[in-house]
Chain A
Amino acid sequence: MITLGEIALWLALPISAWGMVLAFAGGRTQRGDLVLSAERSVYASFGLLVVASLGVVAAFVQDRFDYWYVASYSNRELELFFKISGLWAGQRGSLLFWALLLAFFSALAVFQNRNKNREFMPYVTGTLQGIILFFVVVLLFAEVNPFEKLGFTPANGQGLNPQLQNYWMTIHPPTLYLGFTAFSIPFAFGIAALMSGRLDSRWIQLTRKWILVSWFFLTNGIIFGMRWAYEELGWGGYWFWDPVENASLLPWLTATAFLHSIMIQENRGMLKVWNMALLILTFLLTVFATFLTRSGLIESVHSFAENTTIAFIFLMCIVSTGLLGAVLIVWRLPELRSENKIHSFLSREAAFLFNNLILLAAAFAVTWGTLFPLLTEGLMGEKIAVGPPFFNRVNIPIGLILLALMGIGPVIAWRKASRKNLVKNFAMPTAVGLGTLVGLYLAGIHHRLALITFATSAFVMAIIVTEFWKGTKARARIEGEGFMKAFVHLVARNRRRWGGYIVHVGTVVVFTAFAGSAFNREVRQIMEPGETVEIQSALGHTYTLRYVGISSSTSPTRNMSQWTALMMVDKEGEDLGGFTTEKRWYPVVEMLVTEVGIRSFFLEDLYIILDSVEDLQGMAANEASSQRATFKVKVNPLVGWIWYGGLIITLGALISMWPSRGRMPRVPKAAAVSEGTAEPATA
Chain B
Amino acid sequence: MPNNGRFFVGLIGVGLVVSYLVWTGVSDTMIYYLTPTEMMAKVSEDPSFHQIGLKVSGRVVKGSYTQSEDFEHHFEVMDLDDEAVRFPVVFRDVLPDTFTDEVEVVLEGRYRDDGVFEAATVLTKCGSRYEAAPEEMVG
A binding-site residues for B, Cβ under 8 Å: 158, 161, 163, 233-235, 273, 299, 337-338, 341-342, 345, 350, 353-354, 357-358, 361, 364-365, 368-369, 372-373, 382-387, 389-390, 393-394, 397-398, 524, 526, 585, 587, 589-594, 609, 611-617, 630, 632
Contact = CB atoms under 8 A, between A and B. Distances in A.
Given A299-B125, A524-B93, A590 B21 contact: no
A592 B138 contact: yes
A341 B129 contact: no
19 contacts: A161-B129, A235-B96, A341-B7, A342-B7, A361-B18, A364-B22, A372-B26, A372-B30, A383-B32, A385-B31, A386-B26, A386-B29, A386-B30, A387-B29, A390-B29, A589-B129, A592-B137, A592-B138, A632-B93
Nearest to B125: A299
Given A393-B24, A617-B135, A611 B4 contact: no
Interface string B21-64: 11011101111111000100000000000000001000000000
A613 B6 CA distance: 63
Contacts of A585: 134, 138
Nearest to B42: A382
B94 interface: yes
B1 A337 contact: yes
Given A163-B97, A235-B94, A612 B21 contact: no
Most buried by B among A590, A609, A613: A590
Contacts of A611: 71, 93-95
B4 A338 contact: yes
A393 B29 contact: yes
A591 B132 contact: yes
Given A394-B18, A617-B135, 16 more contacts: A161-B126, A163-B98, A235-B96, A358-B14, A361-B15, A361-B17, A368-B22, A383-B32, A386-B29, A393-B25, A394-B21, A394-B22, A585-B138, A589-B130, A611-B95, A612-B139
Contacts of B29: 386-387, 389-390, 393
Q: What is the predominant secondary structure among interface residues of chain A facing chain B?
A: mixed
A617 B138 CA distance: 7
Interface string B113-132: 00000000000011001111
A358 B21 CA distance: 12
Most buried by A among B28, B30, B55, B92: B30
B84 interface: no
B83 to A, nearest CB: 18
A387 B21 contact: no
Contacts of A373: 33
How many chain B residues sit at the interface, stated as a range, is: 35 or more
Contacts of A590: 100, 129-134
A14 B4 CA distance: 48
A357 B98 contact: no
Given A234-B94, A342-B7, A387-B29, A361 B14 contact: yes
Given A299-B125, A354-B10, A383-B32, A364 B26 contact: no
Contacts of A390: 25-26, 28-30
B97 A526 contact: no
B97 A341 contact: no
A364 B25 CA distance: 13
B79 interface: no
A364 B6 contact: no
A397 B31 CA distance: 22
A383 B34 contact: yes
Contacts of B73: 612
B97 A593 contact: yes
A397 B24 CA distance: 13
B108 A387 contact: yes
B139 A234 contact: no
Nearest to A345: B6
Contacts of A368: 22, 26
B10 A357 contact: yes
A383 B37 CA distance: 13
B82 interface: no
Contacts of B108: 387
Contacts of A372: 26, 30
Contacts of A235: 94, 96
Given A337-B1, A341-B3, A365 B137 contact: no
A361 B95 CA distance: 35
B125 A393 contact: no
B10 A365 contact: no
B21 A384 contact: no
A616 B67 CA distance: 12
B97 A592 contact: yes
B93 A387 contact: no
- Nearest 5 A/B pairs, CB to CB: A616-B139, A383-B33, A590-B132, A385-B33, A361-B18
A645 to B, nearest CB: 25
B139 A398 contact: no
A630 B70 CA distance: 9
Contacts of A341: 1-4, 7
Contacts of B129: 161, 589-591
A570 to B, nearest CB: 24
A594 B130 contact: no
Most buried by A among B70, B100, B125, B134: B134
A387 B31 CA distance: 8
A320 to B, nearest CB: 27
Contact of B94 (A526, A587, A632): A632
Nearest to A361: B18
A583 to B, nearest CB: 8
A346 B75 CA distance: 60
